[in-house]
Amino acid sequence: METITDFKDLTSRFCALERACRVVVVCPDDEPTVECMLTALSRSKVQFIVVTKGNPLPSALTAGERLRVEECADTDSAAARAVALVRDGEADVLMKGDINTDNLLRAVLDKERGLLVAGGVLTHITLAEAPAYSKLLVFSDAAVIPRPNLEQLRAMARYDIEVCRRLGVASPHVALIHFTEKTNPKFPHTMDYMTMIDEAKAGAFGPDVVMGGPMDVKTACDPHSGAIKGINSPVCGKADVLIFPNLEAANTFYKTLSLFGGAKMAAMIGGTTAPVVVPSRADSAESKFLSLALACLNL
Amino acid sequence: METITDFKDLTSRFCALERACRVVVVCPDDEPTVECMLTALSRSKVQFIVVTKGNPLPSALTAGERLRVEECADTDSAAARAVALVRDGEADVLMKGDINTDNLLRAVLDKERGLLVAGGVLTHITLAEAPAYSKLLVFSDAAVIPRPNLEQLRAMARYDIEVCRRLGVASPHVALIHFTEKTNPKFPHTMDYMTMIDEAKAGAFGPDVVMGGPMDVKTACDPHSGAIKGINSPVCGKADVLIFPNLEAANTFYKTLSLFGGAKMAAMIGGTTAPVVVPSRADSAESKFLSLALACLNL
């Protein structure tokens, strides 16, 4: 497989999928979600199940053949029903429409009837295409885990590396982000980073994974910065994956890259038995479509 | 005074200063610092005192008249001597050359012979010009305080607002950054934000300061995001100042804005009796020059 290096590649690969990916959408009552679904119906073989809270759907959507509708009394029961459809094997991907993320994740996290993998860590994965960078960037966690511990940092790296593999990245380079290159017991995540780097060297994250850090975002993505600072990690300037130490830093990266860096974003949830797509309310139809493509390619 | 909205304005204002700003530079042994000094000598009335650790200076630098040289045995004594020159009133601004920031700040922080203001908070101030934003952005703290408490957050806001005033911003809009717009006792900085917003309303940060938060970076700087999310703070989309909850987030903003957003940066230290300029080793000559201009305009 050739490596996917931008969202044009990603979209082509999604649209060319032979199998019909079955996606259940919870309450697509907002325009960008409807537009995303229309694009997917016209360009790919995707099939939709829509779970509504009773609101009528636009006729453009219901006109097609690859859409089935179920009605529920409210958003919470719509979320529960959608999760049940995935559990029962009737849908491959769960996608959020006009419903609060917390409400949807509550249904996903339900111990008995949810979608959490046994021993899994529910965490957020973003895939970004930034004009200033020559390849796609995968990073975590911009939305779910505020203060990741070692186990959670490991899971974030594992899921992000898995995305790289599916994109065809032969040797994923993982940068563990901090504000400097120095480890310091005052910042426990820098000590966790050392543990993970040792584990990566021992092959715990799979073959050909190159992990480095602590380092800042610029050192991770700009080949000159590392050289000037005398940091000689093989990850410098070549990161495929960025693991952030806290939610404020990861969210700041997401928002800054998007607003000031003109980047496009796709995102999904990791640690679940099936891909879960939870776009932000402020995401565009294009961003929602890219997230759907990412989720369908990760089946 | 007309508002300074970009670095061209800032540079013009600096170069037009009638008074001769006296700058002491510690160990200018790197090319960007030398280039920055040469630019300042040719374009402004600035006067330099250079404290070296014995290394010879380039002849281009020593050829001019507005430069005095002092030799010390090593970088630490050079730093101490430079601080003494500021304390004795012989220099107005302290600037870092090829010396570790920690070593320079140790001399600045010395309780008896340093430059700390009584009751002051040593904190880092960045001024950024981003192509995607219509005005300059002031933010803290990308380099010094890892986990700011309420008193430190207040000081950061105070110093950043002071920079806005000197830039001629009539009504500084201050965004208190978090990953969401919800306050939560689990994230103590969001509770501190509420206190500061009340204080701002009562005039504690001076007249016409508009403070809002918690909010994310995109909500602070993009008028559409706030509207979509139903956040109606007057700060949304109009921030002049961003206060970050931790060093990882602020540093990530600095590095992402610079590398992916094509932004130019100027930076200085606040909370000292005189402006202190501590550029990163990876900063360009232009960035160092802009920092020097910012420091000289803040006298």
| pLDDT-above-70 percentage for chain B | 100
Partners of residue B229 in chain A, C-beta under 8 Å: 281-282
Angle, vertex CA A50, rays to CA A46 and CA A56, nearest 5: 130
Distance from CA of B18 to the nearest CA of A (A): 36
- Catalogue all structural domains in chain B, each as residue range(s) with its CATH number: 1-116+273-299 (3.40.718.10), 121-271 (3.40.718.10)
Distance from CA of A244 to the nearest CA of B (A): 9
Residue B129 has pLDDT above 80, yes or no: yes
Per-position pLDDT tens, chain A of length 299: 789 999 999 999 999 999 999 999 999 999 999 999 999 999 999 999 999 998 999 988 888 789 999 999 999 999 999 999 999 999 999 999 999 888 999 999 999 999 999 888 999 999 999 999 999 999 999 999 999 999 999 999 999 999 999 999 999 999 999 999 999 999 999 999 999 999 999 999 999 999 999 999 999 999 888 888 888 899 999 999 999 999 999 999 999 999 999 999 999 999 999 999 998 877 889 999 999 999 999 76
Interface check A261 vs B, CB under 8 A? yes
Question: Looking at this predicted complex, what is its ipTM?
Answer: 0.94
pLDDT (0 to 100) of residue A101:
87
Residues of chain A numbered 164-193 and touching chain B (CB < 8 Å): 177-179, 186-187
pLDDT band (50, 70, 90) for residue B101: confident
Report the predicted TM-score, pTM, of the whole model to 2 decimal places: 0.95
Residue B23 has pLDDT above 80, yes or no: yes
pLDDT (0 to 100) of residue A152:
98
Do the Cβ atoms of B256 and A258 come within 8 Å?
no
Distance from CA of A81 to the nearest CA of B (A): 26
Do the Cβ atoms of B260 and A132 come within 8 Å?
yes
Quick: pLDDT tens for B164-192. 999 999 999 999 999 999 999 999 999 99
Q: Is the link from the previous residue into A207 a cis peptide, with omega within 30 of 0? A: no
Q: What average pLDDT score do residues B287-298 get? A: 94
DSSP string, chain A: -PPP-SHHHHHHHHHT-SS--EEEEE---SHHHHHHHHHHHHHS--EEEEEESSPPPPHHHHTSSSEEEEE-SSHHHHHHHHHHHHHTTS-SEEEE-SS-HHHHHHHHH-TTTS-BPTT---EEEEEEE-TTSSS-EEEE-SSS-SS--HHHHHHHHHHHHHHHHHHT-SS-EEEEE-SSS---TTSHHHHHHHHHHHHHHTTTT-TT-EEEEEE-HHHHH-HHHHHHHT---TTTT--SEEE-SSHHHHHHHHHHHHHTS--EEEEEEESBSS-EE---TT--HHHHHHHHHHHHHT-
Q: Give the pair of three-digit tokens for residue B14.
A: 């600096």
Residue B281 has pLDDT above 90, yes or no: no
Interface check A236 vs B, CB under 8 A? no
Among chain A residues, CA nearest to B255: A218
Partners of residue B142 in chain A, C-beta under 8 Å: 179
Do the Cβ atoms of B244 and A248 come within 8 Å?
yes
pLDDT band (50, 70, 90) for residue B299: low
Partners of residue A256 in chain B, C-beta under 8 Å: 217, 252-253, 256-257, 260-261
Among chain B residues, CA nearest to A218: B255
Quick: pLDDT tens for B52-67. 998 999 988 888 789 9
Partners of residue A217 in chain B, C-beta under 8 Å: 251-252, 255-256, 259
pLDDT (0 to 100) of residue A82:
98
Quick: pLDDT tens for B196-221. 999 999 999 999 999 999 999 999 99
pLDDT (0 to 100) of residue B2:
86
Residue B46 has pLDDT above 90, yes or no: yes
Do the Cβ atoms of B260 and A257 come within 8 Å?
yes
Residue B231 has pLDDT above 90, yes or no: no
pLDDT (0 to 100) of residue A92:
96
